[in-house]
Structure 1
Amino acid sequence: MSRAAKWSLTIVILLAVVVAGIALFAHEPEIPTASIDPKQFPEEQVRRGQEVASASMCVVCHTAPGGAVNAGGFHMETPFGVIVSTNITPDTESGIGAWSFEAFERAMRRGVARDGTHLYPAFPYTSFTKMSDEDMRSLYAYMMSQPPVRNEPQATRLPFPFNQRALMAGWNLLFLDRDPVAKVASESEAWNRGQYLAVALGHCSACHTPRNALGAEKTGKDYLGGGEAEGWIAPALNGSSKAPIPWTEQALFDYLRAGYSDQHGAAGASMTPVVRVGTSQIAESDTRALATYIASQMAGAGQGKTGPTPPQREAAAQAAVATTDTLGARIYANACAACHHPGPGGPDLFGAQPPLWLATSLNLDQPDNVIRYVLNGTQHDAGNPRGGHMPGYAYALNDAQVTAVVQFMRESFTGQPAWTDVQDAVRRIRGEYPLALQGRGE
């Protein structure tokens, strides 16, 4: 059978499964409203639910910039269009205040709202479906005990055919894996706890795993192999990591707990709120367990294993910054070196200055993250008092200047091949304003 014929057969089978899924499961019944008394939940269960909520980082996507906590309205960029998060406060009119536990659990485990409509997997029910029963009930108790907020966010409006939510029935049939997180007997208790936190609650793979053409996470060797989140590249957290210095368990703990690692820099972009409201707020033992698990996935990664040491990289960066014979070098000297100064003698300004010569972003295959940092800056740290604030240069540097300084850093600090089509990427990313500036602290 030819390759074209195999593809045609695959498409036919896929369509048949989708149609069958729609026919069988598209019409989910509405679950009646319920009257919930938050006083019914024991204090200890609510407290436990707060920990689950922090680990699951509900507030990250369900809070609009400047808006009330969990009242919805955050705009999430996806390959299929912009999805607007919903109100998950216990308001009975615009939130989930009239949802019974049955309705709540169905949404969390199967991606179906109380009224029977299907939810998009931008809401990571694909991970939450693996949550333990105890954690699910505790989370429900906590959510129903929070202050209700009346707010009706803008409805999500995706282009056809993605606006047909019934299609998600077929998608779930194909891709929703509801098996619980299996313990690995040969691993430590901390490792297994970290696996549960990463897979079921923290949904790390939602951003850090590539997706197929239908938006489902790839599996196998692609697990934690790097993905995309709202236009930002989420680096690989497995053996294919591009970090020039290998991540250690301690470095991961420092980064997840305080938003900063001396050899890797500060949490930014979509990771800023993840650390601020998530990994820095859960039990310290849980943060360490998560670091233990992620470190095991990254074992063997890191170009620095056989490459230059951190001091050698810093010395090379210092020599490059000392030259001003190119446009990129001159821009770096005037706009960047005051804070990102390699070698001794640099001023201590605006909190921590991440060592750019050790930055994963500069070693990625695409320049997008570096461009976004240059254009947007970082206006909010992840909660670490050492965290700094970087101004954005979107209105100070033109496309050619941004391109020049990005290429200078890539070629001078990494030894990697020059990126291609950087100026086209600058134009594309600059064209995303103002959405690119709306949230995530960047």
Structure 2
Amino acid sequence: MAHLTENPADKDRFICVYPIYINSKKTLAEGRRIPTEKAVENPSCAEIRDVLMAAGLNVYVENKMHPREWNRDVQFRGRVRVQVKQTDGSFCQEKFTSRKDVMFYVAEMIPKLKTRTQKSGGGDTSSQQGEGGKKSKKKKKFICVYPIYINSKKTLAEGRRIPTEKAVENPSCAEIRDVLMAAGLNVYVENKMHPREWNRDVQFRGRVRVQVKQTDGSFCQEKFTSRKDVMFYVAEMIPKLKTRTQKSGGGDTSSQQGEGGRRRRRRTAWEVEVEVEVEVEPRHLRKLLSLTWLLFCLGLVIDLESSSVSFRFICVYPIYINSKKTLAEGRRIPTEKAVENPSCAEIRDVLMAAGLNVYVENKMHPREWNRDVQFRGRVRVQVKQTDGSFCQEKFTSRKDVMFYVAEMIPKLKTRTQKSGGGDTSSQQGEGGKKSKKKKK
């Protein structure tokens, strides 16, 4: 370590140079230590080492990272240790008396390295070739059209680019492509997503590239001179596609047929008889639905809406009456009236003892993070009869049920035994201690 030796020539006393110190792409806050105009773009440890070794200095590289360097690529990895003083304390070279001298020298020499000059020369040549290639090939001008641009379900902030009244509902890339190909344009689809499109369904995926200019710079068609022209045209034509018109037409026909069918079937005597006589419990409702489907296949229908098969059940989650929860976490009654950690079984027992029709479902409240069995489930309780009257006058709403349950749960035998047992044991424990003290 540096503090264990006083020999300036010891490796532990070499000065450190990180590439980040002389990187012009970094700010002072990110670790740069010399002015930007004197710094060099993205230096590497190998370049720093080569420059300093060529200057005749004693150098070695360590596999370390600067704490402010977020980029973990090999290019930015490592630090260089360089000797600037000899054993007698004199400088190895008069021009390197501090770390700053070393950094300025390295930043000045790196751009002159052969690897850098070749790169820059090659880059210029390639760029010139690229420009020439562009002029010779005269690349086609394609514009991008995302489905989100013409989606009437999106807002301007979400990416829509035309007025809502001119937009179309949920267009797809396939529809945009078909419309533009039918218009005689050169089109292809890319597997890209608009950055503001949160829906990852296949329908909303992709973007369409369409050519509006020819190689000589003239427009392919006079009516398509910009992206807006393309978007307005596509939004106007998509509703006229065969796939869209068939969907809307088919839907109307089926709905009309359905209404007509229901009206004719409701006049049958069978349905009137069922309305009067059928009474079904909740546990038999699934069987009734199966029976309804069977009768429908036979040409008969049971109208569940107008029949007596209608039940008014309300939901009660344990979290609603849990005193350990906050209002934000789902509690719905005051803390002083709530109960500590109720379970579905306790709620069910209380309500069944009150004479209500109750059953438990394997559901979880969305704000309940605890997945233990104790907190799992919800209770469905019937508060209204089939004629709309209340089953019991004291239960007219969910709040009445919750207050009653929260009041009765502490009186359950399971709760009183627990609390009683706890007190007894504590008293016995205290008594035992006292008796032992007396013996002493």
Under TM normalisation by the shorter chain, which class is it?
under 0.3
The TM-score with structure 2 as length reference comes to 0.17
Structure with the bigger RCO (C-alpha within 8 Å, sep 6+) is 1
Give the strand-richer structure, 1 or 2. 2
